[in-house]
Amino acid sequence: VFSAYLAGGDISLGSLVGFVTVFGIAVRNGILLISNYQHLLQRGEPFSQELIVKGSVERIAPILMTAGTTVLAIIPLVISGNLPGHEIEHPMAVVIVGGIISSTLLTLFVLPTVFWRFGRSPATTHPHLLESPPEGRTESLTPEPDSTVPAV
């Protein structure tokens, strides 16, 4: 939004397409990062700052490559300016470049912090959930494995 404001403040069809593009890339990068954290947890790594740093370092190259190639491909449209015939392309390019830069910074710096704060499983933050049910209750709080679903 800030880059659209800097480019003249017009929200046009091109800038809306840019917003959708940036949203898709940002969500993809965030999903890749979070799924890598979860993969490390499933491999038995303890939930720690080292896990988050390791997961972030492993995914920094794909995230930066996605951002870098997108910006490099679109930067000529930004540099050329709002020439006749580029009424749709220029605002889209400005929004995409500004959005990619800001979303990449957010993905690499804010998302790991948010995962550190909220990414713990209930079993690590509330171990009492895995204990036996209190007297008088017959159901367990831990899910029973479903015998009808084949193991993978």
- Please, where are the H alpha helices in 7-142? 13-42, 49-80, 89-105, 111-118, 122-125
The residue with greater pLDDT, 51 or 130, is: 51
- Are 54 and 115 in contact, with CB atoms under 8 Å apart? no
Whether the full predicted model's pTM is greater than 0.85, yes or no, is: no
pLDDT over 60 at 146, yes or no: no
pLDDT over 80 at 41, yes or no: yes
Angle at 116 between CA 113 and CA 105, to 5 degrees: 25
The one-letter amino acid code at 114 reads V
Cα(152)–Cα(61) distance, rounded to whole angstroms? 31
